[in-house]
């Protein structure tokens, strides 16, 4: 499912126009992005948690040249599904 398909489903389920549903989906994604950028996490009870994980600096090897490359430390967004979502997918 892509974003346009998600907007269509939200519009149908919530009784909104596609434009209103698109604005709602965009607002939700912007809100989650903003919270993660600030270093906090988003908890949606029954659905899951969006968290920021720290990645350590490391070294890697370029497979074409064999040269060693330094990979800097970074932060990565992660999603941890909740029990209700896991149960729904596995039923």
Domains of the chain by range and CATH? 3-82 (4.10.520.10)
> Which regions in the chain score pLDDT beneath 50?
none
The separation between the first and the last C-alpha atoms of the chain, rounded to the nearest angstrom, is: 20
- How many Cβ atoms sit within 10 Å of the Cβ of residue 21? 20
pLDDT above 90 covers a percentage of the chain that reads 99
Note the pLDDT of residue 68: 96
Note the pLDDT of residue 27: 97
Note the pLDDT of residue 22: 96
- How many Cβ atoms sit within 10 Å of the Cβ of residue 72? 8
């Amino acid at each position: 499912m892509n974003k346009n398909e998600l907007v269509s489903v939200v519009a149908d389920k919530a009784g909104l126009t596609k434009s209103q549903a698109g604005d709602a989906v965009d607002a939700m994604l912007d809100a989650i992005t903003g919270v993660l950028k600030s270093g906090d996490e988003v908890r949606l009870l029954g659905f899951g948690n969006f968290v920021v994980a720290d990645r350590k600096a490391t070294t890697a090897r370029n497979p074409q040249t064999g040269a060693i490359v330094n990979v800097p430390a970074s932060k990565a967004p992660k999603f941890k599904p909740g029990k209700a979502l896991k149960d729904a997918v596995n039923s």
